[in-house]
Amino acid sequence: MDLTTGPAATPPGAAAPGAGPEAPPVPDDPAALRVVPARHYARWAAAAAVAVLVAQFAHGLATNPVWEWDVFRAYVLSETIVQAVWVTLQLTAYATVLGFLLGTVLAFMRLSRSPVLQTVAWTYVWVFRSIPMIVQLVFWFNLSALYEELGVGIPFGPVFWSVDSNSLIGTIGAAVIGLTLHQAAYAAEVVRGGVVAVDHGQLEAAAALGIPRLRQIRRIVLPQAMRAILPTAGNEIVGLLKGTSVVYVMSIGELFYQAQVIYGRNGRVIPLLLVATAWYVVLTSLLSVAQYYVERRFARGADRTPPPTPLRRARQFVRTLRGAAAQRDRSVVPLRFLGDSR
Amino acid sequence: MSEVMVDVHGVRKSFGPLEVLRGVDLRVRAGEVAVVLGPSGSGKSTLLRTVNHLEKVDGGWVSVDGELIGYRRAGDRLYELKEKEVLRQRTRIGFVFQDFNLFPHLTVVENLVEAPVSALRRPRAQAEETARRLLERVGLADKADAYPRQLSGGQQQRVAIARALALEPKVLLFDEPTSALDPELVGEVLDVIKDLARTGTTMIVVTHEIGFAREVADTVVFMDGGVVVEQGPPAAVLDAPRHERTRAFLSKVL
């Protein structure tokens, strides 16, 4: 039997496939045989069930008067809400940057050879992972009750300079400190996980080349650790973005707090919760897109050929579909997966 | 006779209860190639790693070009060096790993430029020029901007050799440089090492390639059980071994 897979080398006597009801004799060349894709009946049934549920939900969204879409529309882009979104973004940005900076320092302290640094870092993570964020925030809010003044001087001795603790940090400051310290404890473990995942041979090679220690970390270890850090870090940042809603306990005008203030005034609870939800969804979606491209950037050199972006993949999919349609006209279904990029 | 470049004196090293090196002496003169042979677990690699202080010794000492490695001597005491000073010492000792350990996120030329720029503070342009010259020397001038994973194992190891050379070390250490390679790629790496031997680079090569040892070595060192059993010119050690253990090993690998 001829097993070449070249273009239809139909042996004499074998009719072209799909030639009609007079049951053609089976061609010898497997490449000329017609391929019938597997049918997934259960998948179709599941898709139908999901479609019905989605339709029901969408119908409810559109027709149930409780959603009050006119109220939603009135508030979603209102100045108060947009400003509140800005506060939420600021809190997230500060806490992310500061939290990951502190977390990275803590991670390398934990991984250092100094037992002092190791213990300090371990204790920090233990303490700040143990206190619920909301409790910690209220503590910072009430800092002045604990320490009325903060000063610089000799420990247990005279104080040269001091300042009222409330005026030093303020409410937003207290929130940023609280979020940062909480985030740093988690970031430390995320970064440490990534660093530990880097092949030990990389550090040995860097050490054998005499590359200075800090440079080893910055240039050799961290870029490779980023591959393992980023997915979890993405989680953390999204968690933080939504976690900023907790600072409503400190009466800071972020998104959730302002939504509450408004529905406290007008009693339109559901549409205002919807406003907050919509904004949180939009912001996290943007973060997810950013995460995808950052991850891609840090994957340099990890694959022989970098995977295509979703945009390129979509274009390729369309091209494959067209190709498939063209081929089907010739009664041959292509022997590859649709959308397979390789 | 030329001066001693690498001097290993009575080196001992244990990993937990396991004594891997039990008093090893080894002298390699400038321009000489020493090939270390021995069964696995004989301590060859560990010995090599003590020379650039990737392993700290438990006893004895190592010096390279007259400089004590990892310690500073003052009177009758040895002071452990700070990491920074050890790193400086390592820039004079090139090390080539069994599994290459190229930096996968950096291009080939960036791999070569990194250490000269950050450890020796060379200007980047100059380091890049040197890097490209070295790549040409190992026959990979056209791969300068590729990432390591786009290269074959043999090519990666040649890049790793060029990376070690970029620091212009006084001595090159090879830790089984061809053991991770497919058989047909071994030759290209050995050719590069032979070429270096011809140009008078001081080298210590841990390997299983007996043919290479016969062709290139000035001294063959046979290790077993954490000690040097026998050493001498290849003709003596490989063709007329005096020790039973050397004979037994050679009869198995030849």
Could you read off the pLDDT of A277-324 as tens digits, one per residue?
999 999 999 999 999 999 988 887 776 666 777 888 888 888 888 877
Q: What is the pLDDT of residue B121?
A: 95
Give domain status of residue A329, yes or no: no
Q: What is the pLDDT of residue A19?
A: 46
The pLDDT tens digits of the residues spanning B174-207 come to 999 999 999 999 999 999 999 999 999 999 999 9
- Kindly state whether A203 is in contact with chain B, defined as any CB-CB distance less than 8 angstroms: no
Q: What is the pLDDT of residue A160?
A: 82
Judge contact between A91 and A175, C-beta under 8 A.
yes
- Kindly state whether A201 is in contact with chain B, defined as any CB-CB distance less than 8 angstroms: yes
Of all residues in chain B, what percent carry a pLDDT higher than 70?
A: 100
> What is the phi/psi pair of residue B23, to 5°?
85, 75
| CA distance linking residue A335 with residue A35, whole number of Å | 8
User: Which of B99, B105, B115 is the closest to A201 by Cβ?
Assistant: B99
Helix (H, G, I), strand (E, B) or coil at A7: coil
Give domain status of residue A55, yes or no: no
Give domain status of residue A255, yes or no: yes
For residue B10, pLDDT beyond 80: yes
Judge contact between B242 and B81, C-beta under 8 A.
no
| CA distance linking residue A142 with residue A177, whole number of Å | 13
Residues 6+ apart with CB under 8 A from A263: A269, A272, A273
Average pLDDT over residues B221-234: 95
C-alpha separations of A243 from A188, A280, B99 in Å: 18, 11, 45
The pLDDT tens digits of the residues spanning A142-201 come to 877 777 777 788 888 888 887 777 777 778 888 999 999 999 999 999 999 999 999 999
Helix axes B153-165, B108-119, angle to 10 degrees: 20
Q: What is the pLDDT of residue A74?
A: 93
pLDDT band at A335 (very low <50, low <70, confident <90, very high): very low
Q: Which amino acid is residue B118, in one-letter code? A: S
Helix (H, G, I), strand (E, B) or coil at B27: strand
The pLDDT tens digits of the residues spanning A204-232 come to 999 999 999 999 999 999 999 999 999 99
The pLDDT tens digits of the residues spanning A317-332 come to 888 888 777 666 554 4
Q: What is the pLDDT of residue A25?
A: 67
For residue A5, pLDDT beyond 70: no
| DSSP state letters, A120-182 | HHHHHHHHHHHS-HHHHHHHHHTHHHH-SEEEEESTTS-EEEEEEHHHHHHHHHHHHHHHHHH
| CA distance linking residue B252 with residue B44, whole number of Å | 18
CATH of the domain at A257: 1.10.3720.10
C-alpha separations of B188 from A150, B44, B140, B169 in Å: 68, 23, 11, 22
- Kindly state whether B235 is in contact with chain A, defined as any CB-CB distance less than 8 angstroms: no
Written as six digits, the tokens of B134 are 């070295």
The pLDDT tens digits of the residues spanning B122-135 come to 999 999 999 999 99
Give domain status of residue A12, yes or no: no
For residue A11, pLDDT beyond 70: no
The pLDDT tens digits of the residues spanning B34-60 come to 999 999 989 999 999 999 999 999 999
For residue A121, pLDDT beyond 90: yes
- Which of A198, A209, A222, A230 is most worth mutating to test chain B (most B CB atoms within 10 A of its CB)? A209
Domain of residue A132: give its range: 65-148+161-301
Average pLDDT over residues A237-264: 92
- Helix (H) / strand (E) containing B211: helix B210-216
Chain-wide mean pLDDT for chain B? Answer: 94
Of all residues in chain A, what percent carry a pLDDT higher than 70?
A: 85
Q: What is the pLDDT of residue A148?
A: 74
Give domain status of residue A79, yes or no: yes
Give domain status of residue A10, yes or no: no
For residue A1, pLDDT beyond 60: no
| CA distance linking residue A10 with residue A18, whole number of Å | 13
- Kindly state whether A219 is in contact with chain B, defined as any CB-CB distance less than 8 angstroms: yes
Residues of chain B found within 8 Å of residue A199, distances taken between Cβ atoms: 101
- Number of neighbours of residue A330 by Cβ within 10 angstroms: 11
User: Which of A207, A215, A298 is the closest to B90 by Cβ?
Assistant: A207
Distance from B107 to chain A by nearest Cα, in Å?
8
Q: What is the pLDDT of residue A85?
A: 95
Residues of chain B found within 8 Å of residue A208, distances taken between Cβ atoms: 52, 54, 90, 93, 95, 97
User: Which of A205, A209, A300 is the closest to B167 by Cβ?
Assistant: A209
pLDDT band at A118 (very low <50, low <70, confident <90, very high): very high
Q: What is the pLDDT of residue A146?
A: 74
Distance from B221 to chain A by nearest Cα, in Å?
23
User: Which of B101, B118, B148 is the closest to A204 by Cβ?
Assistant: B101
Number of H helices, E strands in chain A: 13, 2
Average pLDDT over residues A259-267: 94
User: Which of A208, A210, A301 is the closest to B105 by Cβ?
Assistant: A301
Number of independent structural domains in chain A: 1
Give domain status of residue A325, yes or no: no
Distance from B10 to chain A by nearest Cα, in Å?
23
Written as six digits, the tokens of A222 are 């961290």
| CA distance linking residue A171 with residue A178, whole number of Å | 11
The pLDDT tens digits of the residues spanning A70-91 come to 999 999 999 999 999 999 999 9
Strand-pair category, B33-37 with B202-206: parallel
For residue A23, pLDDT beyond 70: no
For residue B145, pLDDT beyond 80: yes
Shortest CA distance from B91: residue in chain A: A210
Give domain status of residue A294, yes or no: yes
Q: Which amino acid is residue B217, in one-letter code? A: A
